[in-house]
Structure 1
């Protein structure tokens, strides 16, 4: 019924906990498709061989990660190990999707842990809600809040997005879902496509694409996942997860959304007139959006022209219905301040404004 997609690269130390958490699921009709993405870590008990003893000198070298996977596959036939040449996360994910035989696809990372009831609750939700294509769950942060405050704040924010509406509108602020917490209908892959490889976060692009094509998404209010934060996490180390890459892929889909929902299209006003804000907002220009003015509170900018556009105090913004506002104000608490201000003025999210940072 469920194929759990588990891409793995050099994760021998954390794999046992991840696999154990899947094999202890109360929902047992599942297969774990572990795609070994060219792991080359070495076993701890010697330069060659699997745990338990060295291999003969002429035997091919087995990575520590592959050894763990093979041991689990021997003990439980639900574990399927697929080995590929190292090519990155997108190749591994799509290779696993091709091999998946389940009606539903669940994601899991090799350094995280799933609650025993996770898959049962998620599949029950999709069965009871045939109009929903994907369901995630809340996650607990398994890292250090002191050293990874940004990740912790992001996770806390995603945990507030439980409904289709909040996920849909929140997508233009940040990625609204923690990738390994999701379970979706496999038919979505056939209808709307697989993960795309490019200079952007593969999961964020997938959510943006599927949402733009009408896929409804939800999130369970229970915490059924522990999202750990090791220093080697791809989102920390790979350039595809850089800030600029997030804003670039977001701009393309945001422009499409604005063309469909903004009654004043292609004209918008942008909240924020700082240099970084302008640079991010101006990515929309390549997609046919026109920025008519900046809205700000900095007295040094008010009543000036910046980047060829007037800067207006946000208190002087047009009344609801007379313009569409997109906020690119970043920083801790910035979006919340903007939303409080706009709602106090009678603006409604999705109708009169969007948060894009």
Structure 2
């Protein structure tokens, strides 16, 4: 069988309402040397018939049945069957711009197999987008260079999964998607980052990313904030300044408390939680003292983890620490 340059890996599960639009956007790509591997994850709503129709009308499409259960099994099954050197991820309810594969392949070839390539997105439909999702869209689109993406990799996942474009054999050699560690995409990005991989974003909107009320990541416990914090705590030890596992946590709210718990569970010792100004009535959090950030003037050498999701708080804290002469990724790191 002929091997295309790119395999589009597209799992689907009861996506009949949106699947044809996603497939049509792939049929209309300006690039021709690709295949689309559609992995049926137990659909019973007519999705498989839509996929089969596309296979009959466009020979670049084929269907694989997921022999396991759930998205991670579908992804790994598909990854093992992809024929292309490069893999582009795609979800069944999103829409690619015509130049997506061309643009991402060009960037991947320029950067090499040690780089995961992403792109800018535009969320849709406009009338259904939450403020939080819009803020996330603006944030990821603002990060373009490998340096910008790495600097922010512990804030949130900087690579929306359906925008990912990576070297198939490299990702398989690093273990593919992990079955029991969710969210599976963010875990993969952190694992690749910890092993020296880089990330780059094509500065063009190449994917229209659907936000819908029943989106799996909105409702599944697997994608809870706590699971994101667990992943961050697990991989923070690979940041050179965090190797000693002794940290300050900047923040005194729920985010700091949750992340602090995950840090402690992963062997970190929290010197103290830091807040600007007097801590007020709260003197301890997670068994550790709550102190004014001014203590850092005399406590250099212990890195600071920024943990606050309040609007603007991350920048305010980072500016405060920078004003003290501390350097990002040397003396402090944003994790929320």
TM-score normalised per structure 1: 0.87
Kindly report the root-mean-square deviation, in angstroms, between the aligned alpha carbons of the 2 structures: 2.0
- Give the secondary structure class of the aligned counterpart of 1:317: helix
Structure-1 separation of matches of 2:47 and 2:128:
30
Which position in structure 2 is the counterpart of 1:80? 62
CA deviations 1:228-281 (Å, max 9, x no partner) are 112221111221111111111221111x224x3337x23211101235412322
Which stretch of the first structure deviates more once superposed, 342-351 or 68-77?
Answer: 342-351
Taking the TM superposition and a 5 Å limit, the aligned residue runs for 1:14-53 are 14-41=18-45
Q: 1:320 to 1:112 in 2, by over 3 A?
A: farther
Structure-2 separation of matches of 1:75 and 1:232:
30
Which residue of 130, 134, 156 maps to 1:174? 156
- Give the secondary structure class of the aligned counterpart of 2:63: strand
CA deviations 1:273-331 (Å, max 9, x no partner) are 23541232231122221111111036343893444433221233236953311111122
Structure-2 separation of matches of 1:310 and 1:188:
44
1:343 Cα shift?
2.4
Taking the TM superposition and a 5 Å limit, the aligned residue runs for 1:128-147 are 128-130=110-112, 132-144=114-126
Q: Deviation above 4 Å: which 4+ runs of structure 1? A: 144-147
Structure-2 separation of matches of 1:148 and 1:32:
31
Which position in structure 2 is the counterpart of 1:121? 103
Match status 1:314 vs 2:284: no
Structure-2 separation of matches of 1:37 and 1:140:
26
Structure-1 separation of matches of 2:323 and 2:128:
34
Which stretch of the first structure deviates more once superposed, 271-280 or 202-211?
Answer: 271-280
Match status 1:257 vs 2:232: no
Taking the TM superposition and a 5 Å limit, the aligned residue runs for 1:228-307 are 228-254=210-236, 256-258=237-239, 260-262=240-242, 265-297=244-276, 299-301=278-280, 304-307=283-286
- Give the secondary structure class of the aligned counterpart of 1:277: helix
Which residue of 321, 325, 329 maps to 1:346? 325
Unaligned runs of 5+ in 2: none
1:188 Cα shift?
1.5
What number of residue pairs does the alignment pair up? 332
Q: 1:143 to 1:297 in 2, by over 3 A?
A: farther
- Give the secondary structure class of the aligned counterpart of 1:195: coil
